[in-house]
Chain A
Amino acid sequence: MRMPLFRGMKRWGVLLPVLLLSSLLLAACGENSPSILNPAGPVALKESNLFWFILVVATIVFVVVEGLLLYSIVRFRERPNSTQPTQIHGNTTVEIIWTIVPSIFLFVVLVGTIYTMFGLTSFSSTGRPLQVRVVGHQWWWEFDYLNENFVTADEMHIPVGTRVEAQLQSNNVIHSFWVPELFGKTDVIPGHNNMSVFQADRIGEYRAQCTEFCGLQHAHMNFYVVVQSQDDYNAWVTSQQQAAASNPAGQAALAGRTLFVGSGGCQGCHGIVGVNLQDYHHLKGGSDASILVGPNLTHFGSRRQIAGGVLPWDPASCVVVTGSDGQPKIENPGSCGLYQWLKDPQAVKPGNDMNIRPLSDTEIAQLIAYLESLT
């Protein structure tokens, strides 16, 4: 009876350190991860500091209690010469001690919690706060730069060191706005004007993803926050404020523009300033542009991903060439995400709102040529 148990005990003793060790190793592997332990701004920094704090506290408690348990298991296991144990029913002094000690631990943690919570959005920054309205759609993110007066999707550019006040809105279901390396979650709830305040102190691109289950394609509702120097950011804003060229260069692109407003049926859902929009917020003809279902495409060519981050978008892998029949075609459709998307959006992201008629390869090449021109 004793032997297998003793072996078991050793395995148990080995298991936990191995797990802890392997977890550290694995954590080191996650270099590309949107990790909350790699904070790039003051909010995420405060939040991750709390993690290290609770990790230390929890590890102490873990070691003490599991140690006591393991010690008791080994020390008091039944042996041939074991005698009947003393029939102790309890001890009030001990009870009081082990009620008070964890209370103190927990109280310290609670003070740290509340202190950090109330100071979470107090940090120093330069310039005026940037105000962006963030709209959660099913299943993509829209960013409305309120003072700069333009709208974009899938990619949120912010200047480094500037306080950002994101107003979170949804007209459909609940989403959650979260960039792990910059700040924790705030839910985007219909009828509630929630706000997320943060700042990035490091230039770079940060991956983000919706974290409140929002239906069929919850897994494909990503975006990037692109943190730029003030100059780069200003240049980006200026370019975003421009209307699209009414006559794109190249025959294929021109044909694509015709498709966009005509038989392609694109403009029923998508807006392009200078084509079917007079500005970012108004349709030509005066009505509200927000009735359009799909993302605004005015500067689509400058973005890096498609459709809530399902596919990467890189003009270099979608080169439009002239085929043997004299029609434009995509040189290498297999590596062109936008080709796959336009060919069959429902296969790429089942259930999304883009229900389009089948497009021929020529039409797709023309549309891609046009979209590439929208930088």
Chain B
Amino acid sequence: MATRTITEGVTIARRRRLSETYIGEWIMTTDHKKIGVMYIVTAFFFFLVGGVDALLIRTQLAVPNGKVLTPEVYNQIFTMHAVTMIFLFIMPMLTGLGNYVVPLMIGARDMAFPRLNAFGYWIILFGGLFLTSSFLFGAAPNAGWFAYAPLTELSGPGTTSCGNAVMCTPGPNMDFWALGILMLGISSISASINFVVTILKLRAPGMSINRMPLFTWMTLITAFLLLFAIPSVTMASILILLDRHLGTHFYQAGFGGDPLLWQHLFWSFGHPEVYILILPAFGIISEVLPVFARKPIFGYTFIAWSGVAIGFLSFTVWAHHMFAVGLPLVAQAFFATSTTLIAIPTAVKIFNWVGTVYGGKLSFKAPMLFALGFIAMFLIGGLNGAALAIVPFDYQVTDTYFVVSHLHYVLFGGSVFGIFAGIFYWFPKITGKLLNERLGQVQFWLMLIGVNVTFFPMHIMGLLGMPRRIYTYPGNLGWNELNLIATIGAFTLGIAFLVFLWNFVITLRSGKEAGTDPWNAFTLEWDTESPPKPYNFLEVPTVRSRRPFYDKKNPETADWKSVTH
């Protein structure tokens, strides 16, 4: 029972404020840690939703002439699988981890704009629920996550009278998409501004830019990417809404508009977006590997600056999603070149991670397994991605299952492995409990096997001519076994995440106490309680090198004594 002091010595009982109840504490909070947790939990919820979509897709395609889903439902499910995983799982999950960890890493007491931070979270929650609620109306987005016009138009250019019945998208499906994306964009912009200001202005004394942990670096780059990329998709969405409801014709060829305008606008968001989904995972890996190899990250400067290079180059490669649209050959050569260039900093990063592992004393705890799995799988995604930059070969495999394989090696083998490395690594900081190690290992091996069994056969499906986004296929084209194998792999992955869910529940109930520093880590977030108090640090630490907590624990061999940066 709360009390209020009226005059000295006189207190009366009063009703508790909303912010003093358990639920209210979460609803009203502006604490970056609580908001981070809400982001992570929300993202995980949507991960399960998107995962069910994935299993439905694989069930439908397990055998030829599948009858599990109708074509309309299949088209909604494959669209929502991508929309959910990209916008409602990976993005908020990485934002959530950043929200929780970045202020702690840089020795700040909170984000720069705590209320804006809460605003960003609530917008993405409601935006996500709004998008998902479209299923209740049987009108989920159904034109693919990149929603190519003019398929997304409300009606055709005046020729509907003579048939072409399903020419466009007459239902509210794509309105859900466009409005949902607008809301998520608002959330991303507010979170990004917050990250930029927090990282640039609130670092602990002594933590110069080139002493920031690499996860902070990558979060900063990602925030800038979002600030420059989101306006493009926002504009594209507004124009399609105008086309649909106010009679404009931005994307309609019959009236002087151009369907390709959509593709240029979308992909000048869409390609930076790909790096928005992977750069923070690069950051997580760059935190986890050194701690479990017991040595500093190899080539800090090169990892940081290759991230910056990727950030800039990511705005110059968008049309490599459009090699088949008939651009002039010179333009295609330009985008093939820029795509080749962006592979160089990515390769540099991979070599530096291997260099970090090389010569270390490796402890294979779950976070390290996921980090190593990330390198092994992301490499495959990088190599088949480089193959897609070979324009004439890309003519053959674009829009086939080869691309589906590539993007899942990057986003699943890359981002999702990185995310789980981060979850296993920071879970003890966030909850004070260590996730069960044995279950973590089981989950890792199920995931490593599952990701390859699911997505490796898709390379071959693509080479054998199977297009993506088809709801069924005939049984005489040599695709049957490959599809069945991929479906088995998908269910293996499903089991892996059930193992994680079980691990999560039993750890919260009866997990091992973590203490402040279970991994003998190097960075500031471990130099405080688990979970940290609302003010984070009793005393803001002073930083003299890139590994401040290592220095504190090893005063004899501290980095600042031997290294000048």
Mark A residues whose CB is within 8 Å of B.
4-5, 8, 11-12, 15-16, 19, 23, 26-27, 29-37, 44, 46-48, 50-51, 54-55, 58, 61-62, 65-66, 68-69, 72-73, 76-78, 82-91, 94-95, 98-99, 102-103, 106-107, 109-110, 112-114, 116-118, 120, 137-138, 171-174, 176, 178, 180, 183-187, 189-192, 194-195, 207, 209-219, 269, 291, 293, 350-353, 355
Whether B478 and A33, one on each chain, are in contact in the complex, defined by CB atoms closer than 8 angstroms, is yes
Bitwise, B552-564 to A at CB < 8 A (1) or not (0) is 0000010100110
A23 to B479, CA, bound (A): 12
Known: A23-B457, A65-B350, A99-B348. A217 touches B71 (CB 8 A): yes
B478: chain A residues within 8 A (beta carbon): 29-33, 35
Q: Of residues 431 to 472 in B, which have CB atoms within 8 Å of A's CB atoms?
A: 441, 445, 448-449, 452, 456-457, 459-460, 463-465, 467-472
For residue B390, CB closer than 8 A to chain A, the reply is: yes
Known: A23-B460, A33-B465, A172-B156. A76 touches B360 (CB 8 A): yes
Whether B467 and A210, one on each chain, are in contact in the complex, defined by CB atoms closer than 8 angstroms, is yes
A114 to B460, CA, bound (A): 25
A69 to B159, CA, bound (A): 59
For residue B301, CB closer than 8 A to chain A, the reply is: yes
Whether B460 and A26, one on each chain, are in contact in the complex, defined by CB atoms closer than 8 angstroms, is yes
Known: A98-B347, A211-B467. A72 touches B357 (CB 8 A): yes
A89: chain B residues within 8 A (beta carbon): 296-300, 563
Whether B150 and A190, one on each chain, are in contact in the complex, defined by CB atoms closer than 8 angstroms, is yes
Task: Give the residue name and chain of the A residue nearest to B256 (CB).
Answer: A191
- List 22 contacting pairs A-B, 8 Å CB cutoff, sorted by A: A15-B452, A27-B463, A33-B477, A62-B383, A72-B357, A72-B358, A73-B362, A99-B302, A102-B347, A102-B348, A109-B390, A117-B391, A174-B150, A186-B324, A189-B253, A190-B254, A191-B259, A192-B260, A211-B399, A211-B400, A350-B70, A351-B71
B-side interface residues, number (CB < 8 Å) = 112
Whether B456 and A94, one on each chain, are in contact in the complex, defined by CB atoms closer than 8 angstroms, is no
For residue B148, CB closer than 8 A to chain A, the reply is: yes
Task: Give the residue name and chain of the A residue nearest to B332 (CB).
Answer: A117
A286 to B71, CA, bound (A): 39
A317 to B490, CA, bound (A): 40
Whether A191 and B326, one on each chain, are in contact in the complex, defined by CB atoms closer than 8 angstroms, is no
Whether A85 and B294, one on each chain, are in contact in the complex, defined by CB atoms closer than 8 angstroms, is yes
Known: A85-B293, A88-B295. A36 touches B463 (CB 8 A): yes
A106 to B470, CA, bound (A): 33
A65 to B471, CA, bound (A): 37
Most A CB contacts (10 A, CB to CB) among B71, B296, B332, B441 go to B71
Mark B residues whose CB is within 8 Å of A.
70-72, 75, 143-144, 148, 150-151, 156-157, 159, 162-168, 252-254, 257-260, 293-302, 324-326, 329, 332-333, 336-337, 340, 343-344, 347-348, 350-352, 354-355, 357-364, 372, 375-376, 379-380, 383-384, 386-387, 389-400, 441, 445, 448-449, 452, 456-457, 459-460, 463-465, 467-473, 476-479, 481-482, 557, 559, 562-563
A120: chain B residues within 8 A (beta carbon): 392
- Interface of B, secondary structure class, is helix
Whether A50 and B390, one on each chain, are in contact in the complex, defined by CB atoms closer than 8 angstroms, is yes
Known: A47-B395, A214-B151. A84 touches B477 (CB 8 A): no
Whether B392 and A47, one on each chain, are in contact in the complex, defined by CB atoms closer than 8 angstroms, is yes
Task: Give the residue name and chain of the A residue nearest to B449 (CB).
Answer: A15
A185 contacts which of B324, B361, B384 (Cβ < 8 Å)? B324
Whether B393 and A54, one on each chain, are in contact in the complex, defined by CB atoms closer than 8 angstroms, is yes
Shortest distance between the CB of A80 and any CB in chain B (Å): 11
A191 to B149, CA, bound (A): 13
Known: A34-B477, A85-B361, A212-B148. A184 touches B70 (CB 8 A): no
Most B CB contacts (10 A, CB to CB) among A16, A68, A73 go to A73
A98: chain B residues within 8 A (beta carbon): 347-348, 351
Whether A61 and B557, one on each chain, are in contact in the complex, defined by CB atoms closer than 8 angstroms, is no
B386: chain A residues within 8 A (beta carbon): 54, 58, 106, 109
A88 to B478, CA, bound (A): 52
B167: chain A residues within 8 A (beta carbon): 138, 172-173, 215
B143: chain A residues within 8 A (beta carbon): 213, 215
Whether B163 and A293, one on each chain, are in contact in the complex, defined by CB atoms closer than 8 angstroms, is yes
Whether B392 and A113, one on each chain, are in contact in the complex, defined by CB atoms closer than 8 angstroms, is yes
Shortest distance between the CB of A340 and any CB in chain B (Å): 14
A350 contacts which of B71, B326, B332 (Cβ < 8 Å)? B71
A66 contacts which of B148, B348, B379, B448 (Cβ < 8 Å)? B379
**9 new A-B contacts at CB < 8 Å, known A89-B563, A174-B259:** A33-B465, A35-B465, A69-B375, A85-B360, A88-B295, A113-B389, A117-B332, A120-B392, A353-B163
